[in-house]
Amino acid sequence: MKKIVAWAKANPISVGSAVLALVAVAMLFVIRSNGGSFMKQMSQHSSEINRIKSLQRTSVRVPPARPDDPERQLQITVNQAAIDQLSRVYTRIGQEYAEISKLAIARNRAGHTPMLNGLFPEANDPAAPFEVKDVYRSILVGMLDKYSSSAKYPRLDASPPPTADQLEALLEKVEKSFLEHDVFPSKESVDQLTGKEAAELDAIKRAKLITFLQEYARSIHLYAETKLSSPGFPFDVGQWSKSGLRPAMSDIWEGQLGLWIQQDIAQVIARTNRVEDSKSNVLNVPIKRLISIRVVPGYVGLGGAKGGLFANQTAPGATARAAILDQGSDSAGDSQASHLDDFSLSPTGRRSDGMYDVRHVSLSVVIDSQMMPEFFENLQQVNFMTVLNMSVTAIDEYEALRQGYVYGPGDSIQADMLIETIWLRDWTTPLMPRLVRRMLGVDSDFTVRGGQ
């Protein structure tokens, strides 16, 4: 032992190194036993630090102040104040959406009532499907009648031009008066007139004819065929109303929607021509003649790129029911898809979906080219309608005069338009027959939004 102590005194460095080695070994055992807990604690601290950093620089999307502007993306620190502020923003947006939706539904629905009470979604009265055919046709004819402030539907105060028989009777009367004048006591027919006398008679006839046509034009607001049986009757009359058979409810629904579309077009024309004003007439109003309104078959975006619910009605008398069954379930799936614009369908990109149905209608009119902006303005005011396409054709006024049309001093043209109409499902769905709902993919337990 003395030798060991003596050696230690003689070699202090070696002794110190040995002591450090023993301490290191001891510490190694301590660290190994407690190191796992330490590392776990440090990892938790690092995770908390990263979480704090992420909250300090959180990306949020904020709606723009103006609807047409893009949304803003901001980096904020998440805290209760930021949460409350964003909550207030989105709550206000929700309230504004509900209010806008309510106003939109009210505007889209205004004046659009079923032809018969209790007709939709399914008629309880077995006679209703037969009765509604006459009601439907009488409404279409009635919209061409003279203006009435109490009328349920718009009135256009329309009339066709004078008939050939009317014009011939007028010219015969002028001719008779000319021959009976004291200047020609011995002449009983135009064949006995001299060249000068015949020319004078022709000039009188032209003047009387023009005067008569102008007076006739001043007595109405619009030229249009008013007889339902006439090939030139301007409104689109559904085939379902012409048959003696009981029409399917899906056919009646298509007729009802088509009637609403044509009702809106008639309302636009009535506003533009100021039919309530007795001083307005064909010679001074924008729209001179209604040539035709045709509802385009099919719900835009359903049943194919440009087909639709009733697009399969290619043969006269084909029913909407057959068209629906032919469509299958693909269109129903489309209607439940998210709202996406499709510009292959139209310049607006709008397509039928769970929010609304899109229908097109073609319109052909003779209109004063300088007054077209007034028509477009009224088109926007009446309902959600947009002109998608338009072609213009010059009018041969001499040929028009020969046919009995006098359009006034302006430059009249024939405008052929394709118009888009929108029908919000919030109010149309409860009226849809079951078969139509099935085709459009609408749930049977559909509930109306927007407080309706």
Give the tens place of pLDDT for each residue, 378-400: 998 999 999 999 999 999 988 99
C-alpha–C-alpha distance, residues 111 and 381, integer Å: 14
Q: Tell me, yes or no, whether 299 lies in a domain.
A: yes
Q: Convert 420-448 to b/e letters by CB count within 10 Å (16 or more is b).
A: bbbbbbbbbbebbbebbbbbbbbeeeeee
168 within domain boundaries: no
Longest CA–CA span in the chain (Å) reads 180
> 9-13, 194-198, 331-335, 411-415: lowest mean pLDDT where?
331-335
Do 244 and 359 have their domain in common?
yes
31 and 69 both lie in a single domain: no
Same domain, 146 and 40: no
Whether 33 is covered by a domain: the verdict is: yes
Whether the model clears a pTM of 0.85, i.e. scores above it, the answer is no
Mark whether 342 and 258 lie in a shared domain: yes
- Indicate whether 181 belongs to any domain: no
Domain-located, residue 396: yes
Across 1-15, 41-55, 239-253, least confident range: 1-15
Structural domain total, the chain: 3
Give the least confident one: 39-53, 57-71, 304-318, 429-443: 304-318
| Residues sharing a CB contact under 8 Å with residue 59, sequence separation 6 or more, in sequence order | 73, 74, 75
pLDDT at 83: 74
Looking at the fold, whether 264 and 401 belong to one and the same domain comes out as yes
Q: How far apart are CA 365 and CA 151, in angstroms?
A: 24
Contact 426, 100 (CB under 8 A): no
Q: What is the 3-state secondary structure (H, E, C) of 121-144?
A: CCCCCCCHHHHHHHHHHHHHHHCC
* pLDDT (0 to 100) of residue 47: 74
Least confident residue range of 14-28, 221-235, 257-271: 14-28
Which of the pair, 446 or 65, is modelled with greater confidence?
Answer: 65
**pLDDT score at 56:** 61
Asked if residue 434 belongs to a domain, the reply is yes
Which has more pLDDT, 88 or 405? 405
Tokens encoding 245: 């058979």
| Predicted pLDDT of residue 314 | 34
Q: Contact 287/365 with Cβ under 8 angstroms? A: yes
Q: What is the pLDDT of residue 202?
A: 82
C-alpha of 165 from chain center: 43
d(CA 221, CA 239): 29
Residues 251 and 398 placed together within one structural domain of the fold: yes
pLDDT tens digit string along 280-299?
Answer: 999 999 999 999 999 999 99
Residues 312, 330: contact at Cβ < 8 Å? no
Backbone angles phi, psi at 390, to 5 degrees: -155, 140
The confidence band for 13, taking pLDDT boundaries of 50, 70 and 90, is: low
Q: What is d(CA 35, CA 42) in angstroms, rounded to the nearest whole number?
A: 10
- What whole-number distance in Å separates Cα of residue 452 and Cα of residue 447? 9
Those residues whose C-beta lies under 8 Å from the C-beta of residue 10, and which sit 6 or more positions away, are none
CB atoms within 10 A of CB 70: 7
Residue 68: band (very low, low, confident or very high) from pLDDT cuts 50, 70, 90: low
Q: Are residues 6 and 94 in the same domain?
A: no
Residue 420: inside a domain: yes
Question: Is residue 165 one of the residues assigned to a domain?
Answer: no
Identify whether residues 31 and 64 lie together within a single domain.
Answer: no
Residues 64, 35 within the same domain? no
- In the listed set 52, 72, 91, which residue is the last one of a domain according to the structure? 52
Statement to judge: residues 98 and 134 lie in one domain: no
Q: For residue 98, give its domain range.
A: 59-105
Same domain, 48 and 149: no
d(CA 364, CA 234): 9
- Is residue 313 predicted with pLDDT exceeding 60? no
Q: Mark whether 6 and 142 lie in a shared domain.
A: no
